[in-house]
Structure 1
């Protein structure tokens, strides 16, 4: 059965152009009358199904043949020859025909027996399928005895010509002329499919009085998908008389299965009445077609037409023509593969060069890809736009930045590795991109809004069709109903194709798919280098705290477990000339190298503003806010600045602090629980409003107290809010309060980050010496 069976019409459904693409053409239940058909069970060789014209060739009534063994129908000698051929290994069709002679009313009748096996499935979905031997008999005429040497002798000159041909048009022309001379058809055409199975006549050999079809195109609907599927399995089909009356099979269904006999590989298979009507409308009286295949897929056809009456080349002639078709298929594959190998070698060389060049991290990646050779050498187009690592460039016909960004966003939304269209006006009309210069685009969407975009202008061209392809059917009244029939006009009809560029080929799509892999590797390598540099910068800023006679200080920084990413978390601890200690915790908005750079600037500015200054933390934050705005840093951050001043009277210390939207510090005092040092009101982040008023809070710390400053990575999780995280942190802080400060800091991080840090974490722990 064919791959299209699940969508096929039930057997016996009336067929017209509205449903012909679902016609079950492999099980027509009838044959053409130029021969007879018998379906025989094995190994007993009992006839289970016959064509109703059996008596005309064999001299046995079909009713008498059913249920009898094959020797009783064909004769012992003829049936023995069939049985011997059927018992051999391999594909039976490779040994066709079996030359037999029938005794019909005392007269010898030479016959070609054509054998194949058909698998007939049951309709109950339970019983196993049945394999039947199908025997087709045609009156023998033409060259005999049939053998491969005779077939090759008929075409050996043509094969030699094909071997010497230097171009595809020459291959086509040689084949068309040879098949016409061999078969005697009035017209022989080589018919090539495009990617959508629209056909074009690329070669023609014809009688002098016929008008030419060369260069005409025909829509894919002329040969429906299920017909193309059969062409890939059975390589030659003959309709010797388009006015034939189909000969039914008796019985209609195979008795053992209740299913129709599969005639996919039958040479006598009756054809679709829609196809017959199509040929009649063209004035064709007989037709033959030979499949041209590439990698077992239909590439095109050799189409043969006869106009003066029925025409039935003998089996040997048809086999020779099929041999020519196979030879042409092989030559076409050889030529195509030769061209593809040559192109592939060029592409491979260019890809290797580009892959090597992208490793030069001192040169922007966009400049590398747009240099010489460039991406336009890798993939022919009118222009290319590259947006990588903050650099944008183009080559060829320019495309405005707004248009390029819109196309790239449309492509990224499709969530595909490679996005290609040869008609952007049809597939993305909402973009309103003019057909010139970007009618067709091929886009590589890359992470973080980066992209590579090739564009091609509209390739306006004219196509000559064999009849109007947009008017494929006629409505004809039949009694009280109206049926759709094939068109009757096949006059040259010229169409101007617009809103399409030259198509992107499968090979081109494969090439850019490989390029995408190289680009991702280059981007990753470069981003890792940048991240390593940022990490080095960040860690150089996160220095060890100073030694103090009054305080123990522990600091920790835990990077996120995510690859190729740095954050803007930081801490700072430094002593003032007056003996006080400044403690700082901060978190720049963002998680990239820019955030790390902003962190370094903020840390340096804050140190410069606060050091050797009598200003309180709130004033320090106000001055820092002004500096951020005045220097145009365009950054935002949460920051908490605290100042610890020893208190001689208590032996403790006085803490003054101010927060710019940062999380509250936690304080553990001896013998008590944990205090959350909140501020009177929520404060704006640094960098939002340079005129924002900053408030200041104050607390007295007893000797032995522990103060904890931290960033949100320690308490924030996807499955919990900040408040719950802070509460959990307070509980864990109580649990480690009696541990040495360094050990307590490590244990606290281990308890809070059992599965690793989802975000960067900075921590400052300060304990007043007792």
Structure 2
């Protein structure tokens, strides 16, 4: 339900109101007033009466129907009308000049009255909206416009006026001084309640504070000695519907001098200038909901007054005044002085809350600044930094804190079982929000089965790669004393042939034990954890960059330059994928064996991260150690490497092609070199002959990748390569794309290699890469090109 007055859906005119539909009652346009005074709606600037209350004769001695369409001076008299006109035409806020003290002639008897003025502007765009909300405001109320209506409310001034509105400050000066000296919120509440009761004469005055759900609590009380106390009682939000709270935010004081009053209707029903009911948002005589009057009568209240307490223009609470012995109508100036006290209390509450929030925010910002600086120390685990003192429990107090970052998990506060931590982290990650919070976990996620005494409140920051920060608060079991059972809000009464829902009649103290709730996370804490998440992401990024730089350095060091050989020319390349961390599992290696043969190795560890790069380094070292002085063929080398991976539990999978260039004296005389290779799931070698012909050395049964099955069968394959040829070994990043299958990629490689020709081997490789790789390659590419020197 919205807490702003909107265009509906309101109840239709004449539709009966009961507790089942009262939230749709258009209380800002009731079409009637309380009869303690009278109302006249006057057009401007001609000052002609356009709408009046039916009880007009009770105050001014003129029948309502005789007043309509007549100049104001003919209804009130020339002098009172001139006084009203002067006040209405003066610059500034009308409220600053209220009340206008008048003497009207009532059947020959001079009658003092207080005239309270405000304007209700209207335009075609305001259909269904409070008219007093339209037009540019002056001091909180609309200024006069060519299409505005001046609303005049006249209240009889019985007895001496206690003080005039301009002197209100003098009347409350002592109380203001007391408020200034108050050292606690409770003192502020108590001083205000006593002062309002002394000033207005109500039997009971309460300071009534709302929680975030608009349930109210009586936090201070001043009362007649014989009355029972309401202090500490709570009242459900349904007792004051949203549209009533919206009116309290606009018109800060409301008096019901007699809850048994009979409303005085406005005539005509609709204001002629608009064709709609007159908006009474800012009216002091506005008729109130009959449901509310019935509610007060059920409480034994005969008169009531409410003063709004605001923070940031939103309703924070009320000063609620009750009278039991009969009707009670404090004069307007007295009510204005009480309203002034309410405004002063609001300001003091805001000042104190802002002071406390400012001090807390300074402390949190100081802690956050320290943590941000400490996070730059990359020699200390980030989780350890956040769990220290000062740490995250100083940013957001909680019972337990769990931090899981960069492979390190730590806790502070009350330890949580590992399965509970896992369940909470997974639940938070599944919510899809940067900051996840609840103060009632058993109610919102019962499927988790987390005991409330461990984690009833959860505040979590899900982070990339399963990392997280998690605060928890235990259940906070507490009792709430309600003014009547909040779950029994209505009673059913038979009225003729119908059943009507009406307000409850029991207001006896009713105690409820609240469970499955923790101390709530404050809006400031939620905002601060959002800032913390951004800082953590920056710290993780900086640290991951450092790790990536170290991995790149390691990878480059392992991808060594090939040896120098008179009969061979080499070109090697490593092109990382266009991604943030430029490391992966692709590698090449070229080295000579003691017998003069040249070993060529090209491989690709599954994965594209620092772990893949580390595995690549392990495999490269193992393979070198196995193959360096081995007279066995490449298949035997791969078999031994497979067994080493299994025996050392390296838990890695890779494609690898090991080739050996062998040359006997006979082959040298014939101008050829023998190429012997074994392939563990890797793309096949490609040979560019001196005449430009390209051959893919495939057609053999593919064999298992390394690390899949220790002892898998490995085969050697042999081909003779003409001197002057170029042998090309490469990883799949050269020929595979998301939009290009492997076979098509190999066909393109063959075509481009033939087009490049057999020039300088370094230039050939660069030209080939330029033709085959996109601007941002998707995968790492490693490549070895070996040019066999032509026969002399």
- Interval of TM-score (by shorter of Structure 1 and Structure 2): over 0.9
Q: Give the alignment partner of residue 664 of structure 1, picking from 677, 684, 690.
A: 684
Summarize deviations over 1:602-635 as a string: whole Å, max 9, x none.
Answer: 1111111121222222222221111111112112
CA distance in 2, matches of 1:688, 1:622: 12
Deviates more, 1:581-590 or 1:64-73: 64-73
Change (3 A) 1:57 1:539: same
Change (3 A) 1:102 1:674: farther
- Aligned residue for 1:24, secondary structure, equals coil
Change (3 A) 1:389 1:69: same
CA distance in 2, matches of 1:727, 1:75: 106
Deviates more, 1:140-149 or 1:91-100: 140-149
> Residue 5 of structure 1 corresponds to which residue in structure 2?
6
CA distance in 1, matches of 2:490, 2:84: 45
> Residue 483 of structure 1 corresponds to which residue in structure 2?
500
Residue 231, structure 1, aligned to residue 260, structure 2: no
CA distance in 2, matches of 1:679, 1:498: 72
Deviates more, 1:442-451 or 1:259-268: 259-268
CA distance in 1, matches of 2:271, 2:434: 50
Summarize the alignment of residues 320-359 of structure 1 with structure 2, pairs less than 5 Å apart. 320-359=337-376
Deviates more, 1:225-234 or 1:488-497: 225-234
Change (3 A) 1:630 1:328: same
> Residue 50 of structure 1 corresponds to which residue in structure 2?
52
- Aligned residue for 1:644, secondary structure, equals strand
Q: TM-score scaled to structure 1, two decimals?
A: 0.95
CA contact (8 A) 1:119 1:262 kept: no
Q: Give the alignment partner of residue 651 of structure 1, picking from 660, 671, 678.
A: 671
Summarize deviations over 1:379-416 as a string: whole Å, max 9, x none.
Answer: 22111111111111111111011110110111111121
Per the TM alignment, residue 438 of structure 1 is displaced from its structure 2 partner at its CA by 1.0
> Residue 76 of structure 2 corresponds to which residue in structure 1?
74
Change (3 A) 1:735 1:136: farther
> Residue 754 of structure 2 corresponds to which residue in structure 1?
734
Change (3 A) 1:222 1:659: farther
Q: TM-score scaled to structure 2, two decimals?
A: 0.92
**Structure 1 spans left out of the alignment, 5+ residues:** none
> Residue 104 of structure 1 corresponds to which residue in structure 2?
106
> Residue 119 of structure 2 corresponds to which residue in structure 1?
117
CA distance in 1, matches of 2:251, 2:371: 46
CA contact (8 A) 1:188 1:304 kept: yes
Summarize deviations over 1:7-57 as a string: whole Å, max 9, x none.
Answer: 532442433222322332222222222222222333333333322222322
> Residue 457 of structure 1 corresponds to which residue in structure 2?
474
> Residue 780 of structure 2 corresponds to which residue in structure 1?
760
> Residue 530 of structure 2 corresponds to which residue in structure 1?
513
> Residue 35 of structure 2 corresponds to which residue in structure 1?
33
Summarize the alignment of residues 546-561 of structure 1 with structure 2, pairs less than 5 Å apart. 546-561=563-578
What count of residue pairs does the alignment treat as equivalent? 770
CA contact (8 A) 1:652 1:768 kept: no
- Aligned residue for 2:280, secondary structure, equals coil
CA contact (8 A) 1:142 1:314 kept: no
CA distance in 1, matches of 2:207, 2:424: 40
CA distance in 2, matches of 1:27, 1:159: 36
CA distance in 2, matches of 1:474, 1:652: 106
Residue 302, structure 1, aligned to residue 319, structure 2: yes
CA contact (8 A) 1:679 1:697 kept: no
CA distance in 1, matches of 2:463, 2:737: 28
CA contact (8 A) 2:552 2:582 kept: no
> Residue 600 of structure 1 corresponds to which residue in structure 2?
617
Summarize the alignment of residues 83-162 of structure 1 with structure 2, pairs less than 5 Å apart. 83-122=85-124, 130-141=147-158, 144=161, 147-162=164-179
Change (3 A) 1:462 1:705: same
CA contact (8 A) 1:123 1:258 kept: no
Change (3 A) 1:211 1:349: same
Deviates more, 1:284-293 or 1:358-367: 358-367
CA distance in 2, matches of 1:188, 1:203: 8
Change (3 A) 1:696 1:86: farther
Summarize deviations over 1:67-115 as a string: whole Å, max 9, x none.
Answer: 3333333333323322222223333223322222323333322222222
- Aligned residue for 1:553, secondary structure, equals strand
Q: Give the alignment partner of residue 474 of structure 1, picking from 491, 499, 520.
A: 491
CA contact (8 A) 1:120 1:260 kept: no
Deviates more, 1:431-440 or 1:262-271: 262-271
Summarize deviations over 1:473-507 as a string: whole Å, max 9, x none.
Answer: 22222222222221111100001111111111112
CA contact (8 A) 2:161 2:331 kept: no
Per the TM alignment, residue 450 of structure 1 is displaced from its structure 2 partner at its CA by 0.9
CA contact (8 A) 1:40 1:133 kept: yes
CA distance in 1, matches of 2:492, 2:690: 98
Per the TM alignment, residue 582 of structure 1 is displaced from its structure 2 partner at its CA by 2.0
- Aligned residue for 1:436, secondary structure, equals coil
